[in-house]
Amino acid sequence: MKLSRWVATAAVAVATVATLNTLPAAAGRQYDPTDQSLRNLGLRHNLYLGTAVDMAALDDPADPRYRQIVGSEFSTVTAENVMKWESLEPTRGSYDWAAADELVTFARQHDQRVRGHVLAWQNQLPKWLTDGVADGSISNAQLRDLLHKHITDVVTHFRGKIWQWDVVNEAVSDPWDTPPTLHYKGFWAEHLGPDYIADAFRWARAADPKALLFYNDYNIEAFGSGDPANDKTQFVYDMAKGLLARGVPIDGIGSQGHLGTQYGNYDTLQVVAALKKFSALGLATAFTEVDVRSEVTEGMGSNEINPRLQASAANYHVLLQACLADRHCLSFTVWGFTDKHSWVPGTFTNEGLANIYDENYQPKRAYNVLRGDLIYAGPPYVLPRVPQKPRR
């Protein structure tokens, strides 16, 4: 080969390698080929890997592994409880920002983005609010003003520090509710009617024009979850489409991803289809609260535990693969990472084993499956994420 030709070929080769290695800087860090953490592997795809954070565990000096793993494995964090209304305003008119601010500071120190959770939800409301409504001392008109004030105060307090806000959470009923036909359920819809949803997005946008605004719900991983006329994913899709048509500033759909190995669940292609249908509306997507629990009984042996661990890992794999395949899926957040600190045993009777590390912080099969997905995924089916711009 002539020298000039060789130089040209070498230049192209160098340029190609440079392109492959030039990954978008995310969370202030560059991809490091020697680092196998989830957050670093996510940089290959510009995908943020996240966890919900239990502030008591983060602050427990007797449990240093918890804090260390939150910082080293994840590039985004969500407050498991401390940004909920009952935590922020336990007494009417007096805010307690301490724990939430501490998480935001931790995130900044660890180059992490913050998902804000949650603005309008029917659970974990302060007692003064629900009691006031129940005894008639807070009218529906006053309640609407209180929600407006809450959203404005909270979003303003954290302005510029939140990447994605869960503006409205779990607004849609399930087929097992009464009446079984899907409808807007819960405290806010009952008192304010379904228009509180559009209001909440508008109020959040007014308080922080840069945060991405999400609708967040469970059991919306795939379409076709039974009766097509009563399909929750379709209901949420129609809702989002309707909000967009009215110019409501919604930027994304968060699919919580609370799964159980005792259920049928979905395969990757079904989940990809749902995410892509949402992103075809111009919305970002995210998995926001992933955990995959199993039924457990006292004294279960490895012959019973192993299939559960495998099924759990397989479901994590389906959700992460689907997220990787949708270029608008911005983040994949687990709802706690260790079985030591999990909401599952306290919420679902005789269920557990839901997280990616065991109670002793040993990585489980699910953790390694997620790493494998992040390592082995690439073009043409997996391409870096497309950043989302907040809708005006």
Selected catalytic residue, list 73, 80, 170, 221: 170
In 3D space, the residue among 49, 51, 107 whose CA is nearest the CA of residue 80 turns out to be 51
Could you say which of 169, 233, 265, 355 contacts ligand XIL (CB under 6 A)?
169
Q: Which residue's CB is nearer to ligand XIL, number 169 or number 285?
A: 169
Q: How far is the CB of 80 from ligand XIL (least distance, A)?
A: 5
80 binding ligand XIL? (CB under 6 A): yes
Q: How far is the CB of 161 from ligand XIL (least distance, A)?
A: 19
Q: How far is the CB of 347 from ligand XIL (least distance, A)?
A: 7
255 binding ligand XIL? (CB under 6 A): no
Distance CA 104, CA 119 (A): 16
Q: How far is the CB of 293 from ligand XIL (least distance, A)?
A: 12
- Lookup result for tokens 């989940």: 271
Selected catalytic residue, list 289, 295, 304, 359: 289
Q: Which residue's CB is nearer to ligand XIL, number 51 or number 256?
A: 256
Contact 248, 202 (CB under 8 A): yes
234 binding ligand XIL? (CB under 6 A): no
In 3D space, the residue among 363, 112, 381 whose CA is nearest the CA of residue 272 turns out to be 381
In 3D space, the residue among 150, 252, 246, 245 whose CA is nearest the CA of residue 204 turns out to be 150
Q: Which residue's CB is nearer to ligand XIL, number 40 or number 333?
A: 333
Contact 336, 54 (CB under 8 A): yes
Size of the site for ligand XIL (CB under 6 A): 6
Show Cβ contacts of residue 206 under 8 Å, excluding neighbours closer than 6 positions: 152
321 binding ligand XIL? (CB under 6 A): no
Across-strand partners of 159?
none
289 catalytic residue (yes or no): yes
73 catalytic residue (yes or no): no
Q: Which residue's CB is nearer to ligand XIL, number 44 or number 150?
A: 150
Distance CA 208, CA 339 (A): 35
Question: According to CB under 6 A, which residues from 170 to 199 bind ligand XIL?
Answer: none
Alpha helices in 252-343 (DSSP H): 268-280, 302-325
The amino acid at residue 385 is R
Could you say which of 343, 356, 370, 377 contacts ligand XIL (CB under 6 A)?
343
Could you count the other beta carbons within 10 Å of the beta carbon of residue 162?
25
Could you say which of 81, 261, 285, 355 contacts ligand XIL (CB under 6 A)?
81
Q: Which residue's CB is nearer to ligand XIL, number 196 or number 343?
A: 343
Could you count the other beta carbons within 10 Å of the beta carbon of residue 387?
13
Contact 322, 275 (CB under 8 A): yes
Q: How far is the CB of 336 from ligand XIL (least distance, A)?
A: 7
Question: According to CB under 6 A, which residues from 5 to 34 bind ligand XIL?
Answer: none
Q: How far is the CB of 386 from ligand XIL (least distance, A)?
A: 26
Q: Which residue's CB is nearer to ligand XIL, number 216 or number 265?
A: 216
Which residue has the closest beta carbon to ligand XIL?
343
Contact 194, 187 (CB under 8 A): no
Q: How far is the CB of 171 from ligand XIL (least distance, A)?
A: 11
219 binding ligand XIL? (CB under 6 A): no
289 binding ligand XIL? (CB under 6 A): yes
51 binding ligand XIL? (CB under 6 A): no
Q: Which residue's CB is nearer to ligand XIL, number 316 or number 343?
A: 343
The tokens for 55 are 């502030």
Angle between helices 232-245 and 196-207 (to 10 degrees): 60
- Burial (CB < 10 A; 0-12, 13-18, 19+), residue 382, is buried
Q: Is the dihedral of CA 368, 370, 372, 375 positive or negative?
A: negative
Q: Which residues form the interface with ligand XIL (CB under 6 A)? A: 80-81, 169, 256, 289, 343
List residues with catalytic annotation. 170, 289
